[in-house]
A = this chain, B = another copy of it.
Amino acid sequence: MSIAAVDHYLQNAAPRFEGELLDLLRIPSVSAESRYAPEVRRAAEFVRQQFLSLGFQSEAIETDGHPIVYAESPAVPGAPTVLVYGHYDVQPADPLELWQTPPFEPAIRDGFVFARGATDDKGQMFTHIKSAEAWVKGAGRVPVNLKYVIEGEEEVGSNNLERFLEGAKTRLAADVAVISDTSQFGPGKPAVTHGLRGIVACEVTLHGPRQDLHSGIFGGSIANPANGLARLIASLHDDSGRIRIPGFYEGIPPLTSAERKRLQDLNFDEGAYLSEIAVPAAHGEPGFSTLERRWVRPTCDINGMTSGYQGEGPKTIIPAWARAKITCRLVPHQDPERILHSLEGFLRAQLLPGLRLEFKSWHGCPGYAFDTDNRFMQAACRAIESAFGVPPVFIREGGTIPVVESFRRILGLDTLLLGWGQNTDNLHGPNEHFSLQDFHRGIRASAHLWYQLSQLTP
């Protein structure tokens, strides 16, 4: 088993790997649209055949939705076991007219492949299959135990994944999970994402009068649901920007100076960040930098508001009801259920007389952090440095990747989030693309990760 032989294989196979990636990208496996269901299945079969060609056991596991492709490399007793997760389904491609070349006719321009799914997640997921091929074909076998869960419903909420994980706990037993569905910190700045924010989502409706009322005849004598809702929303933050929900920050450990310094050392360009979204000034929780506010501090944002008349010009009514959608992004040590419960109680306690509050919430997800000193983390850093020529930076992600939380909760696994793409790859948008250089560096980093993990003492 020689890593040199693997590297050699990768160099020779590079053009073929690109061709195979293009074949996979040609399949319009749009999970959201039922007319594409046969194509989704075709993509699953494509992935399964990849595994079979490596001599792995592989099956397409039926679910209530699209199949999950499961695969296992031949057992290597004593070696670590890695659970690789990815998805073969893609977002819808609309609006088609904004694509320079058709979304399912992959085109290469300036070193990038343009196609729906190029980076999210076919291109990134494929690196972990091709790295295995390099080991099998270049060195005889993979040096670790690989288990693959490649699903077809990530873009529609992974509704059937948890049930599969629950039912296959033993089969999925592993030491660590690996996912490449995030981004580098910037071009040439590979990153390991070691933290994610969680989320709770709810909808608050204030009910007032039976129907919209004349604001002249009734105005001033009853609580207006829209004013009342604004009052509740405003109460969520104090004047400084801190969140006022009781117990909201409870249990969150203070940011260590080491963590602070690590974020500072990233030299985040706040000016460029703000000008990209055309916002003239940052705003958030006092005492924290913009990166800290995005990655390690919780939020409470209104996602939508509806009430009364929304057309042109004035209309003199007291609306019968008013509604807001609220999400809080959570950090580790915040409990989603407790936060929701406290939020609901906090709002109810402030209700104006005559208004009725309806509270609806959805399944939440806690925040996640993976210790960067962990030996799997360190192995990943070494592997990435071998492939990219520079060590990765540690970053966090302000969004939520529910599967990472599911892996921890159901399988007791931490996840190495190794992103080969860029934030600017137009994920979910027109002209999605992926750097071919990063595709190959990703494959190499993956191959070196299997090597580094095989070198760990049990």
Contact = CB atoms under 8 A, between A and B. Distances in A.
A306 to B, nearest CB: 4
B293 A216 contact: no
A280 B354 CA distance: 5
Contact of A278 (B209, B308, B317, B324): B209
Interface stretch (A92-100, A195-203, A377-385): A195-203
A96 to B, nearest CB: 20
Given A216-B329, A314-B303, A209 B277 contact: yes
Given A209-B278, A234-B235, A314-B201, A305 B306 contact: yes
B203 A314 contact: yes
Given A231-B234, A290-B221, A327-B316, A283 B216 contact: no
A219 B301 contact: yes
Q: Tell which of A220, A222, A273 has the most Cβ of chain B within 10 Å.
A: A220
A224 interface: yes
Given A226-B302, A324-B226, A217 B294 contact: yes
A269 B293 CA distance: 54
A218 interface: yes
A313 B222 contact: no
B309 A325 contact: yes
A310 interface: yes
Contact of A301 (B202, B215, B356): B215
A194 to B, nearest CB: 16
A230 B208 CA distance: 18
Contacts of A281: 353-354
Given A227-B301, A301-B215, A220 B319 contact: no
Interface string A270-294: 0001100111111111000010011
A399 interface: yes
Interface in A242-280: 273-274, 277-280
A307 B197 CA distance: 24
Given A229-B230, A229-B305, A313-B362, 8 more contacts: A220-B398, A221-B284, A223-B283, A224-B302, A280-B356, A304-B310, A305-B307, A314-B325
